[in-house]
Amino acid sequence: MDRTSWIGVLACLGLLFAWGFWNTKEAAKRAEEQRTLAAEAAETAAAAEEANQLAPEEATTPETTAETTAPATTDAPDSKVVEETTHVLENELVRFTFTNKGGGLSTAELKSYPKDVGIEDLVTVNAVGKAAVGTLSTGHDSFDTSNWTVTSSSDTSISYETRTSEGFVLNKTYTLPGEGEDPYRIKLALTIKNAADTPLALENRYLYAGTASPLHLNEWSMQIGMFWMETDGDYEYKTVDHYGGRKVMGIFGKSEIPSDKFQLESLKWAGVNDQFFATIVMPETPYAAELWGSRIPVIVEGDAEKSADKRMAASEAAIGLPKLTMNPGDQQSLNFSIYLGPKEFARLKALGNGEHAVMHYDEIPIFGWLFGWAIKPLASGLIWSLVKIEGFVGSYGVAIILITILIRLLIWPVYAKSARSMKRMSKLTPMMKELREKYEDDPQKLNEETMKLYRTYNINPLGGCLPMFIQLPVFLAFYRMLWSAVELRGESFLWVDDLALPDTLFTLPFAIPFLGDGFNLLPILMGITSFIQIAITPKTGDKTQQMIFMLMPIIFLLFCYNFAAALALYWTVSNTFSILQTWIMNKLPEPELKKREGGGKKSFMQRMQEQAEAAQKAKAGGGAVPGKSRTSMPGEKGARHTKGKKKRR
């Protein structure tokens, strides 16, 4: 670039930093407002929780118990007062804690996953849940708060029972997975019996699927939400922004709705997820169901200010039970399996019911319309290869480097052909300059002569873009795979503590727009290597086009700065390999610029352009457009349409 272009780039960067200082002050004001709102919400929630949790001495009669629990649920326990108790079942990977309050699974601690690098606290599924997983609900924020009776317990199962005010006797039995079953998946058997003297209808009951909450402040709201799959393969995903009215990727969600309901014709499974973990509830037999979902404001990493500023929230969901009409003495059983664990692609796929869809490989925020068909198989293949290679080399960082080198070796022939095409095209620069000066006032003629020049010397103007078009789907697949690759969580490499998070070395005293206040080294190295790669690549096109290419590293830097360090590692290695390839290609003999005999065959793009120009000339001259039928004269259209047709009576 010339001096003027560099001044423009530096001026843009200066404005970016100046905006950063101003944006930091504005963010502090917004955070203070959010903290005030969060404090008010916390006080309200605490008051509600205190009202729901009655002391045993306050509930000495059936009338008192029914009255105090009525606002939260239509269910009421027997007259006998039952104290709240917990029970723990565990295997080698999970510690399940159950509670008789609502008869549900309170939390699931994942023994292989600490909350962060270097700490002992474990990732806990449903840590911020308003109720236990499996608790019955009558709608948003309306849960069964009664204490069920423990009827049996062992090292592998726990059973609860209660009687509702209508006369239903409900029994829940939770059972740990057996040999050969996934250790993160438990079974729930819900038995419903009509113990009344009259027919009863069980309706408007939901099974709470719990919550999924962000584990770190860099977790995007798009990575947290509820989902479901129907038997016809229709998969839907709603992020927490569906309820918050927040702008995401340029699109507004619904405005500040507290919760939403979804009607399904045949539910296969449903649940909630964050970036790396998911809860999936699957009925044994699919049925028509209604779901409800909502969001819960949370404080992440103990930082109330940043959590409020980023509007961090957990997702919650509940699955409607089938409507049952039962005669006195009738009994029905509903069986469910509940997965509470990591979003490992191979593990979820092995469950056998399409649960690996929660990896969201089909969700492509950018270029999905162009490369969406290729992203899912590429992402699946990349995570499979990554795990296999890591098994041999013992490091995910090394595995990413090896996969990157392998991909670049596979496209080496395409890159070599592209590099030679760009070199030959750069030799046309003097001729192109003459054409621009000659046809400065006639853009159409300039295009015609430019295409003729390309055809004469057998040059494809898009030839230099082939490596980018090949690499872009791979880059997007890496991006999508890393979106939820729990395998990389907590994996270190060189100075990077966690490949699934940005490699933040220290925090700046101010926030940079679009980048934040963390100093992340790998994305900066990625940007530098991108600049070097473009600088040593043969120059083609005019100064404007070259300027656009030089700005591409800045765009990718903004795009990847706060994403997983693994993505920046892949792109940096890829750039370094490209620099090496370009250096080698520059050492080879220069390609000759030869004219093609007969002027050369027209390319597809040239033919399309000529047809467009011919159509434009015909339109301007009032003639017929090539390849189109003659425009009908007034009165002809009706005549043609009625010819040969019978009159309607």
Taking only the tens place, the pLDDT of each residue in 223-267 is 899 999 999 889 999 988 887 654 443 333 444 678 899 999 999
Q: Is the pLDDT of residue 212 over 80?
A: yes
Mean pLDDT to the nearest integer, 547-574: 81
More confident residue, 107 or 436: 107
| pTM, 2 dp | 0.74
Q: Is the pLDDT of residue 506 over 70?
A: yes
pLDDT score, position 65: 32
- The residues, any chain, with a CB within 8 Å of residue 96's CB and separated by 6 or more, are 88, 89, 90, 105, 107, 108, 174, 176, 186, 340
- The residues, any chain, with a CB within 8 Å of residue 432's CB and separated by 6 or more, are 450, 453
Q: Which of 80-94, 414-428, 605-619, 633-647 has the lowest mean pLDDT?
A: 633-647
pLDDT score, position 618: 67
Mean pLDDT for all residues in the chain: 77
Q: Is the pLDDT of residue 43 over 80?
A: no
Mean pLDDT to the nearest integer, 197-205: 91
pLDDT score, position 608: 57
Q: Is the pLDDT of residue 540 over 70?
A: no
pLDDT score, position 268: 96
Distances (CA, A) of 111 to 93, 95, 293, 387, 609: 5, 7, 28, 20, 62
Mean pLDDT to the nearest integer, 173-190: 94
Per-residue pLDDT reduced to its tens digit, 371-407:
666 778 888 888 999 999 999 999 999 999 999 999 8
Q: Is the pLDDT of residue 546 over 70?
A: no
What percent of the chain has pLDDT above 90? Answer: 37
CA–CA dist 578, 581 (Å, integer): 5
Sign of the torsion formed by the C-alpha atoms of 368, 240, 268 and 90: positive
pLDDT score, position 66: 31
pLDDT score, position 194: 93
pLDDT score, position 536: 77
pLDDT score, position 251: 35
In the chain the domains, ranked by start, together with CATH numbers, are 53-359 (2.70.98.90), 368-587 (no CATH)
Mean pLDDT to the nearest integer, 499-521: 82
pLDDT score, position 252: 35
- The residues, any chain, with a CB within 8 Å of residue 398's CB and separated by 6 or more, are 389, 390, 493
Count other Cβ atoms within 10 Å, centred on residue 634. Answer: 6
- H-state helical runs in 226-285: 241-244
Backbone angles phi, psi at 3, to 5 degrees: -65, -40
Burial annotation 506-520 (CB, 10 A radius, 16+ → b, else e) = eeeeebbbebbbbeb
CA–CA dist 405, 574 (Å, integer): 7
More confident residue, 133 or 552: 133
Contact 529, 154 (CB under 8 A): no
pLDDT score, position 109: 96
DSSP three-state, residue 66: helix
CA–CA dist 487, 397 (Å, integer): 12
More confident residue, 46 or 138: 138
Taking the CA atoms of residue 492, residue 496, residue 501 and residue 502 in that order, the dihedral angle to the nearest 10 degrees is -170
Q: Give the position of tokens 């399940």.
A: 96
Contact 635, 629 (CB under 8 A): no
Distances (CA, A) of 574 to 399, 416, 536: 13, 15, 15
Q: Which of 312-321, 412-421, 611-620 has the lowest mean pLDDT?
A: 611-620
CA–CA dist 439, 164 (Å, integer): 87
DSSP three-state, residue 108: strand
CA–CA dist 121, 214 (Å, integer): 15
CA–CA dist 95, 527 (Å, integer): 44
pLDDT score, position 441: 77
- H-state helical runs in 53-169: 62-69
CA–CA dist 164, 75 (Å, integer): 5
**Residue 226 pairs with which residues in a beta bridge?**
238, 272
Per-residue pLDDT reduced to its tens digit, 55-68:
333 333 333 333 33
Cα 128 to its chain centre, rounded Å, is: 21
What percent of the chain has pLDDT above 70? Answer: 70
Q: Is the pLDDT of residue 318 over 70?
A: yes
Q: Is the pLDDT of residue 477 over 80?
A: yes
pLDDT score, position 168: 93
Per-residue pLDDT reduced to its tens digit, 127-156:
999 999 999 999 999 999 999 999 999 999
pLDDT score, position 495: 92
Q: Is the pLDDT of residue 602 over 90?
A: no
Q: Is the pLDDT of residue 365 over 90?
A: no
Mean pLDDT to the nearest integer, 602-628: 57
